[in-house]
Amino acid sequence: MHDLILPPYAPVFLDSLRALGYSAELAFADIVDNSITAHADCVQIFLAPVDGRCAFIDNGRGMSPEELTEAMRHGGNIMAQHRSDTDLGRFGLGLKTASLSQCRRLVVVSKRNTDAHPVARIWDLDEIERAANWVLLSSDDSGEVLKLPYATMLMDQGSGTLVLWEKLDRFINHGQTPEDAFQHRLDLIEPHLSLTYHRFLSASGKDRSLKILINGRLIQPTDPFFTKNSATQKLQVEEMRIDGHRISILPYILPHTSKLTREERLQLQNEDGGRAKQGVYVYRNKRLMVHGTWFRLHARDELSKLARVQVDFPSALDHLWKPDVRKANLELPVAVRDSLGRIVNRIVGQSKQVFRHRGRKTNQENFEYVWDRIETREGIRYNINRDHPVISAVISSVASTSAMPIEHLLRLIEQTIPIHALYNDMATRADIALQGTEERQLRAKIDELFDLIAALPAENKDLVLRSIIRAEPFSRHPDLVERLIKEKISK
Ligand SMILES: Nc1ncnc2c1ncn2[C@@H]1O[C@H](COP(=O)(O)OP(=O)(O)OP(=O)(O)O)[C@@H](O)[C@H]1O
Ligand SMILES: [Mg+2]
């Protein structure tokens, strides 16, 4: 028996690695991960169709010529032995696999400190094919290096690294114009970075903060837990230790849509009303790895869509969570499954309560309802929604004297709804629908509405009017209501 050294055949091996399954946004994140690990607090990304290139410039600690060469090696050895507990890397692959999944030429320029010259290393798949070998283009001549696109930007800072993708062959799909292709990518990349790094982007104080700019525009963090909203319920954090390393589980219940700010509501709408993004959010060293899954502990459903759980684990426990090369998949460790399952069951129940209390399904979230449907252990109850604009206007108009008689009145109505008669009529009489809001009835209601707001100060009138017509019954006929209001005003 004798040993053979059998390295991979470079052109085929590299071509196969391109098929690891990176999307553009996952590839971008792999480059940003490296900048964070290098202690950069700013990453500038340039992506322009006219340029046909994509550039990442960070102000991290940079690399010496030897470090840069090793960094270009697939499965580089430089960090493997001494990764810190803030390192976002693991495999010694991301820089190469992410970049070459999108382009055929990867240029990396780095500068270690103010006095150092920038040096460059390049993997060019065409050169590798031509030479049928692992040919790494290399230059330590700063005059030559600074002629590379964007390289002079490094000279404005003490240290840092430029990653440049050229020959972007995977960026533009067949039949797309470069403008459309770049815009389409950006539409996915920006939200991905804004969510993946939200804890770095919003960090302050002693936590390490980060700025990411795309074409000069600052990326804002997307907080999936709406922690700035005081109506978000932050539940008890649970911690467990495995081999001395801490895993924490922090559940949140998001507020009902009626309590969200305009921006938060927009965010939720973009997330399929929250439905698609419910579930567990797992962070490795504060970087989001996986989200919007219940790990089969619970099925995604309409009523649990306000439940989100933040799970944090350190990279020291990678052997349990088993992240994949793209940092897009994790395995839920057996040791965590039971605790998480128990917590998920509890908070899913609480998320349902938010809806039951509101008595609404949120697919009609722009409306305010007169009646809340409430499920309790004793059964279903219907309560008058004190937040409905008309009802709250009436309550506050008498609040200065005493709100008690109004409260008595509301309770009396709630306790005496003729449920049985209604049920019987609904089942047997077609003409019950006449209670609906036809034009004549709406007109009468608008007359009443104008009487109601007549006493208000002029500057409040329009505000109150607008908020009331968003509620039932007006909300069901917005065009008709607009017309009737115009007629009323013009009289
Ligand atoms: N922007 C950067 N600044 C400084 N060093 C960097 C930068 N990018 C990469 N490196 C160095 O190059 C090495 C290789 O990077 P690469 O992304 O290929 O692997 P990794 O980050 O170690 O692991 P992973 O495959 O999980 O990303 C890093 O470990 C780091 O030492
Ligand atoms: Mg990396």
Q: What is the DSSP string of 441-480?
A: HHHHHHHHHHHHHHTS-HHHHHHHHHHHHTBTTGGG-HHH
Interacting residues of 444 by C-beta distance below 8 A, sequence separation 6+: none
Asked if the model's pLDDT at residue 375 lies above 70, the reply is: no
Token pair, residue 45, equals 């990304």
Q: Which pLDDT band holds residue 81 (cuts at 50, 70, 90)? A: low
Ligand nearest to the CA of 328: 1
Distance 316 CA to ligand 2 centre (A): 16
Phi, psi of 177 (to 5 degrees): -80, 155
Q: Tell me how far apart the alpha carbons of residues 170 and 376 are, in angstroms, rounded to a whole number.
A: 55
375 by DSSP, 3-state: which? strand
Q: Is 312 in the pocket of ligand 1 (CB under 6 A)?
A: no
Q: Is 95 in the pocket of ligand 1 (CB under 6 A)?
A: yes
Q: Is 287 in the pocket of ligand 1 (CB under 6 A)?
A: no
149-163, 178-192, 273-287, 462-476: the lowest-pLDDT one: 462-476
Q: Is 36 in the pocket of ligand 1 (CB under 6 A)?
A: no
- Beta-carbon-side half-sphere exposure of residue 278 (alpha carbons within 13 Å): 25
Contact predicate 60/192, CB 8 Å: no
Q: Exposed, middle or buried: residue 237 (CB in 10 Å: 0-12, 13-18, 19+)? A: exposed
Ligand nearest to the CA of 93: 1
| Parallel/antiparallel/unpaired status of strands 53-58 and 233-234 | unpaired
Task: Say what the pLDDT of residue 360 is.
Answer: 42
Q: Is 219 in the pocket of ligand 1 (CB under 6 A)?
A: no
Asked if the model's pLDDT at residue 146 lies above 80, the reply is: yes
Choose between 280 and 207: higher pLDDT: 280
Q: What angle do CA 245, 347, 274 make, to 5 degrees?
A: 100
Q: Is 93 in the pocket of ligand 1 (CB under 6 A)?
A: yes
* Reduced 3-state DSSP string for 224-238: CCCCCCCCCEECCCE
Q: Is 89 in the pocket of ligand 1 (CB under 6 A)?
A: yes
Closest C-alpha among 373, 346, 341 to residue 253: 346
Percent of the chain topping pLDDT 70: 88
Distance 359 CA to ligand 2 centre (A): 48
Average pLDDT along the chain: 86
Of 37, 97, 196, the residue with max ligand 1 atoms within 8 A of its CB, to mutate for a pocket test, comes to: 37
Q: Is 64 in the pocket of ligand 1 (CB under 6 A)?
A: no
Q: Is 255 in the pocket of ligand 1 (CB under 6 A)?
A: no
Ligand nearest to the CA of 284: 1
Q: Tell me how far apart the alpha carbons of residues 463 and 378 are, in angstroms, rounded to a whole number.
A: 39
Q: Is 38 in the pocket of ligand 1 (CB under 6 A)?
A: yes
20-34, 148-162, 323-337, 366-380: the lowest-pLDDT one: 366-380
Distance 95 CA to ligand 1 centre (A): 6
Interacting residues of 404 by C-beta distance below 8 A, sequence separation 6+: none
Token pair, residue 427, equals 């089942």
Interacting residues of 375 by C-beta distance below 8 A, sequence separation 6+: 356
Token pair, residue 360, equals 């609404």
Q: Is 58 in the pocket of ligand 1 (CB under 6 A)?
A: yes
Asked if the model's pLDDT at residue 400 lies above 70, the reply is: no
Asked if the model's pLDDT at residue 61 lies above 80, the reply is: yes
Q: Is 97 in the pocket of ligand 1 (CB under 6 A)?
A: no
Closest C-alpha among 190, 188, 277 to residue 226: 277
* The model's pTM: 0.74
Closest ligand 1 atom to the C-alpha of 74? 18
* CA 404 to each of CA 388, 394, 408: distance values in angstroms, whole numbers, following the listed order: 18, 12, 6
Distance 420 CA to ligand 1 centre (A): 70
Closest ligand 1 atom to the C-alpha of 35? 1
Measured from the Cβ of residue 310, the count of other Cβ atoms closer than 10 Å reads 21
Asked if the model's pLDDT at residue 315 lies above 50, the reply is: yes
336-369 pLDDT, tens digit per residue, is 999 899 988 888 777 666 655 554 433 344 456 6
Asked if the model's pLDDT at residue 265 lies above 90, the reply is: no
Q: Exposed, middle or buried: residue 362 (CB in 10 Å: 0-12, 13-18, 19+)? A: buried
Closest ligand 1 atom to the C-alpha of 80? 22
Closest C-alpha among 157, 144, 160 to residue 58: 160
- The closest residue, in CA terms, to atom 21 on ligand 1 is 89
Distance 283 CA to ligand 2 centre (A): 16
Closest C-alpha among 429, 291, 274 to residue 351: 274
Closest ligand 1 atom to the C-alpha of 163? 1
Closest ligand 1 atom to the C-alpha of 327? 26
Q: Tell me how far apart the alpha carbons of residues 474 and 149 are, in angstroms, rounded to a whole number.
A: 60
Q: Is 59 in the pocket of ligand 1 (CB under 6 A)?
A: no
Ligand nearest to the CA of 70: 1
Task: Say what the pLDDT of residue 357 is.
Answer: 53
Ligand nearest to the CA of 327: 1
Percent of the chain topping pLDDT 90: 52
Q: Tell me how far apart the alpha carbons of residues 442 and 447 are, in angstroms, rounded to a whole number.
A: 9
Instruction: Summarize the chain as % helix, strand, coil (round to 5).
Output: 45, 20, 35
* Reduced 3-state DSSP string for 235-260: CCCEEEEECCEEEEEEEEECCCHHHC
Contact predicate 89/284, CB 8 Å: no
Q: Tell me how far apart the alpha carbons of residues 198 and 284 are, in angstroms, rounded to a whole number.
A: 13
Contact predicate 398/417, CB 8 Å: no
Q: Is 221 in the pocket of ligand 1 (CB under 6 A)?
A: no
Q: Is 74 in the pocket of ligand 1 (CB under 6 A)?
A: no
Task: Say what the pLDDT of residue 361 is.
Answer: 36
